[in-house]
Structure 1
Amino acid sequence: MDPLGVAGALGAGLSYAGYTVTARTLLLRGAHGVTVMAGMFGVGAMVLLPAVAGADLGWVLSARGALMVAWLGLVATGLSYVLFQHGLAGLPSSTVATLSLAEPVTATLLGVLVLGEVLGSLSALGITVVVLSLAAMALPGRRPRAGTRVAP
């Protein structure tokens, strides 16, 4: 076990939880959903900007590179987080964060089914845990409390 890796994973999990709770709080206070997402991604981009300092970004200027950036920015990220904020507008943060765990499961299964990747036993165990957790969240009695819906 790599302590730095574990610390990084814990930091990522805490950051995601903080992001989710903060976004939900802003939505409950009446902030516009797209504005909340754009603001958070803008702050994230500024924080990460030093990581690309000195990197060769010439590929972005090619047609293929520009299309890749547009696809990843507008569809893969933009659209998915607009949908994410709609979920946050009507469900508790814990439910939305748990449901978002289906994303890596989907990506892994697509890798196996479409790209012919091999599913290892640890990955299969992880998928099983996530799917069982999502099923447990769907059980009766796990409904959000009345009055928690906000406008997207």
Structure 2
Amino acid sequence: MPTGTNVLGLAWLGLIGAGLTYFLWFRGISRLEPTVVSLLGFLSPGTAVLLGWLFLDQTLSALQIIGVLLVIGSIWLGQRSNRTPRARIACRKSP
């Protein structure tokens, strides 16, 4: 049988967690390019790992730390590549 703590935890995850996440996601899409926002979805697992380490005293292996750093580096590279100006192709006007 669910306890009051379980129900409050589920309400927190459903209303605050999901609601705030969707609000921020769609706000980001309205202000940024979709390719930039789509890369940010890769932060979710790393954020969960770091929050578990900070608040739940979970231990991190070297492989997990390397994985989080690889994801952050990949996001940085992806965002950086979106900012580089594209070469323009000169077009001639037809006579």
TM-score by length of 2: 0.70
User: Structure 2 unaligned runs (5+)?
Assistant: 84-95
Aligned residue number for residue 134 of structure 1: 75
- Structure-2 separation of matches of 1:92 and 1:125: 28
Compute the displacement of 1:83 (Å). Answer: 0.7
Compute the displacement of 1:99 (Å). Answer: 1.1
User: Structure 1 unaligned runs (5+)?
Assistant: 1-57, 144-152
TM-score by length of 1: 0.47
**Aligned letter for 1:87?**
G
Q: Is the 8 A contact 2:39 2:75 kept in 1?
A: yes
Aligned residue number for residue 18 of structure 1: none
Q: Is the 8 A contact 2:36 2:79 kept in 1?
A: no
**1:103 is aligned to 2:69:** no
Match of 1:120 among 57, 61, 64: 61
Q: Which is higher, the Rg of structure 1 or of structure 2?
A: 2
Compute the displacement of 1:78 (Å). Answer: 0.9
Compute the displacement of 1:102 (Å). Answer: 1.7
**How many residues are matched?**
83
Percentage identity across paired residues of the two chains: 34
**Aligned letter for 1:73?**
G
